[in-house]
Amino acid sequence: MKKINPIINDANTLPGDFYCSSDYFLKTKNDLFPNTWQLIGSPDVLNISSSAYPFTFLEGFVDEPLVFVNNKNGELNCFSNVCTHRGNILIQFEGPIQKKLSCGYHGRMFSTDGKFISMPESNGMNNFPCEEDNLTKVPFNKWKQFLFSSLSPEINFNDFIGQMDDKVCWMPIENFLHDPTLSRDYLVKANWALYCDNYLEGFHIPFIHKDLAQSLDYSMYNTEISTYSNLQIGYGRGAEFCFDLPKDHSDYGSNIAAYYFWLFPNMMFNFYPWGLSTNLIKPLSNELTKVEFRSYVWDKSKLEIGAGALLDKVEREDEAVVESVQKGVKSRFYKHGRFSPRMEKGVHHFHQLITRFVS
């Protein structure tokens, strides 16, 4: 695929067939997502020593079985959740574990640091055990209360998370409480990258989100680009319903209604005065995407006011326009578009990164 011109004033967007082609979808599955960091969440079970949390890396897409293990000393590791004997899923359920990990198929045993211990009926096996009999360790990182994992990371985690950490580290994010009643999943009949394109620009806000536009000063809307992330700053029309920023903050004195962070390739962290909404964008097919909204509350009294209100309505408005665009990019008459230099810097950045990973 042709690289995106780094000069936004001259650049064209991704070609329309990127959003429709099964071949490109397969390339992202094999060449992009396994090599990037993915949000696993904030599983409460891992606050307890001698516990395990099995999960699937991008379920329905990459489908790699993994497991976090917190041993009796409180040391956290991430492993392949596949027994090295015959491939059985090792840990089926989250919760407490014993001193050893035991496969329910043939009784192979592993320590909580992933080392092979024993297996019945193994007498006479040559060169056994060897390194391949241990569980594969999988890279992971923790930021605040959130865990991230990658199958084969090509991105430095500090480059990935640094912009967000610098901007919001003053908030007590470790103490934000997950609220299941404000969390939900959506199915969008569009390519995952189209959903990200839409998120990455505030250009459409006055046209698509009439209520949200009443809370934000569109003339001040700004995008700040980092290496593997970017930030859209939503400025409020007044000081009411905005952050009470500390005096040493870089934005102190500004009326900030929302910080919209995008982390490459498919994660959004939206900070409001009430707390945080995370959006995890999961590809299911080249024209079907699952969007997982999770809310973490800091101040309940601010939930229904300002830019962070009516999130379900805003989401459904976004879905409608993205699904319409999915139909349009399939047109034989559509090739690519151009970028607004002021309002689509985030989309331009995203498209450059896509073509770096997907050829």
Q: What is the pLDDT of residues 295-324, one digit of tens each?
A: 999 999 999 999 999 999 999 999 999 999
Looking at the predicted structure, is the pLDDT value of residue 294 above 90? yes
Rounded Cα distance between 209 and 289, Å, is: 21
Q: Kindly state the average pLDDT of the residues 124-136.
A: 96
pLDDT value of position 320:
97
Q: Kindly state the average pLDDT of the residues 256-267.
A: 98
Q: Kindly state the average pLDDT of the residues 48-54.
A: 92
Per-residue HEC secondary structure of 4-64 comes to CCCCCCCCECCCHHHHCCHHHHHHHHHHHHHHCCEEEECCHHHHCCCEEEEEEECCCCCCE
User: What percentage of residues in the chain have a pLDDT greater than 90?
Assistant: 94
CATH numbers and ranges of domains, the chain: 38-143 (2.102.10.10), 156-357 (3.90.380.10)
pLDDT value of position 238:
85
pLDDT value of position 240:
86
Rounded Cα distance between 150 and 97, Å, is: 24
Q: Give 51's pLDDT tier (boundaries 50, 70, 90).
A: very high
Q: Kindly state the average pLDDT of the residues 179-206.
A: 97
What predicted TM-score, i.e. pTM, was given to this entire model? 0.95
- Start-to-end CA distance of the chain, whole Å, equals 5
Helix residue spans in the chain (DSSP H): 22-27, 157-168, 192-199, 205-208, 210-215, 311-329, 345-357
Smallest CA-to-CA distance from 207 within 312, 305, 318, 307 is with 318
Q: Kindly state the average pLDDT of the residues 176-202.
A: 97
Q: Kindly state the average pLDDT of the residues 326-354.
A: 97
Q: Is 107 in a helix, a strand, or coil?
A: coil
Distances (CA, A) of 67 to 52, 92, 94, 106, 123: 7, 9, 9, 19, 29
Q: Can you read off the two tokens belonging to residue 315?
A: 């989401």
Instruction: Kindly report, residue by residue over 1-46, the tens digit of the pLDDT.
Output: 899 999 999 999 999 999 999 999 999 999 999 999 999 999 888 8
Q: Give 349's pLDDT tier (boundaries 50, 70, 90).
A: very high
Residue with tokens 């590791």: 77
List CB contacts of 209: < 8 A, sequence separation 6 or more: 314, 317
pLDDT value of position 44:
86
pLDDT value of position 45:
83
Smallest CA-to-CA distance from 95 within 142, 144, 136, 44 is with 44
pLDDT value of position 73:
87
Q: Can you read off the two tokens belonging to residue 70?
A: 């917190």
User: What percentage of residues in the chain have a pLDDT greater than 70?
Assistant: 100
Q: Enter the DSSP assignment of 239.
A: S
Four-residue CA torsion sign, 270, 275, 277, 278: positive
Rounded Cα distance between 275 and 298, Å, is: 5
Q: What is the mean pLDDT of the chain?
A: 96
Rounded Cα distance between 359 and 354, Å, is: 9
Strand partners, 267: 263, 280
Q: Can you read off the two tokens belonging to residue 74?
A: 């409180």
